[in-house]
Amino acid sequence: MKKLKKVLSLLLCGAFCLLPIGCDNTRDSSDSSGDKPAETGSYIHLESFDSYKTVNRIWCGTSLGDASVDKTYVSEGDASLKVMVADPETKKDVFSTTTLYVPTEREEGDYHDFSMIDEVSLDVYGVEGTDMSVQIAVVLKGASVVSGPAKSFEVKAGEWTKVNFTVNRTVTDASIDVAKITHISISCSGTNATMCLDNLQLHRATSDFVSAVATVDAGELCNFEKAYQSFAVTGSIIEGKALGLSIISDPEWTTSGVRALKVVAPATNANNYWQIELSEQLFKASNFNEYTTDKYIAYDIYKPFVRSWWFTTRIRCNTSNAYDNVSTTVPEGIGWHTVCIPLTRRVMNTTNMQINFQSKNGLENGGKDGVTFYLDNFRIIDEVPEYGSVFVAPKEK
C-alpha cells in the first residue's frame, strides 16, 4: 500500500485521504468500481472517490503534497480521498494550498452543461491542522484554466463539514461558458493540514437559466456602468485568501461614469502573483479582434502610494494559450494613471486580458499591508492621451 500511495502522489503532483461520518470502523479493503455517477431526479452523484481508477482521473496543480484512497473513514460509498496539503517532511508549520480538479466528463457521458446545475456539494472532514478551508469553483480547462466565481468554506478539525457551493449560472456564464464546464476545482488550504473529501454531487436547478447579455458601446471593453459588468471580472486566491473585487458607485473613485472596480489584495506570506481577469464575454461583445493594430487598449488605474509600481498586463487567447506579457510601470505619484498598450501586442484570436502583480515585491512596504486600488474605463482608443500621467507600452515585445 505504501508503494502504491507513493506512485499515486507522483502521478497527481498534488495532495490527498478520508474518514466516515460518525464512525471509526475500518471498512473492507477490497476495491470498488465507483466509476459511474449515480443520478436521481434532483442530483448527480459525480464522485465517491472509491477507487484508484476514479482518483487517477483527477488533475492537479503544481502544489506539492500527498494523496491516497482511504477506506477507513467514509461519508458515502466504500472509500474517500485523503488530502495532505503540504509535504510533512519538508513543509512543517507552513501555510499551503493544494488544488485538484475533478473532471465532469465520464466514460458513459459528460456533465459539462451547468446551465441547469445550481449547486455543488461536498463532504469534508478536517483530520488535523489549523486555518483549514476548502475553496470550490467550476472551471473550463483547455490549454489554460479559466475559473468562474469561487467561494471558500471553513473546515474544523475533528468535524465533518457539508460544503454547499451555489453556482450562480448567470454570473458564471459572464466569466466562462456555463455549458462547457470541464472540472470542479477543490482547493484545500491550511497549516500542516490533512483533510478528507467525499460524496461530490451536482444538484439540478429547478428554475430556467437566464444568460447575461453582454453589450458594449463603440470603443468600450468595460467601464463597469452596465449591470452584467459587475461580474465580468474575476480574481485569484493566494494562501486561501481571495482577491477582493467589488463595484463601487462613487464619482470620486471613477474616471468614467459613476462606477469603478475596487481591488483589495490582502497581505500574504508567499511571493505569488495576484491575478485580475477580464471576461472573455467582453472581448466577444466588443469585436476586439476586428480593431486595427494602429489603436490602443487603455485603462485607468488609481495607485494609492507614491512610489512607482511595476506589474504585468497579459493579453491572451484561452484556446491556444498564446499570450504576450506586457511589462507595465505606473510612474510615481498618488492618483489616477492611464495605461496604453498598442494593439500590435495582442495575440491571434485574443479572448481576454489579465492584470498580474506580485503579492509582496513591487508594492509599498513589501506588500506586508496588502494594497487597495481602483480600475476603470477599459477601452479602445485611437491615440495616446496628451493629458495626465500616461504609460505607453512598446509596440513590439
pLDDT in tens, 230-256: 888 888 877 667 788 999 999 889 999
- Whole-model pTM: value is 0.69
Angle at 185 between CA 73 and CA 17, to 5 degrees: 20
Q: Is the distance from CB of 380 to CB of 297 less than 8 angstroms?
A: yes
Question: Could you tell me which residue, 148 or 117, shows the higher pLDDT?
Answer: 117
Confidence band (pLDDT; 50, 70, 90) for 73? confident
Domain(s) of CATH 2.60.120.260: residues in the chain: 4-204, 220-392
Select 4-204's CATH number: 3.30.460.10, 3.40.50.740, 2.60.120.260, 2.40.50.140: 2.60.120.260
Question: Could you tell me which residue, 187 or 344, shows the higher pLDDT?
Answer: 344
Question: Could you tell me which residue, 191 or 238, shows the higher pLDDT?
Answer: 191
Fold of 220-392: Jelly Rolls (2.60.120)
Question: Could you tell me which residue, 396 or 68, shows the higher pLDDT?
Answer: 396
Q: Is the distance from CB of 151 to CB of 165 less than 8 angstroms?
A: yes
- Annotate 195-207 with b (16+ C-beta within 10 A) or e (fewer): bbbbbbbbbeeee
Q: How many Å apart are CA 113 and CA 136, to the nearest integer?
A: 17
pLDDT at 366 over 90: no
The DSSP code for 157 is: B
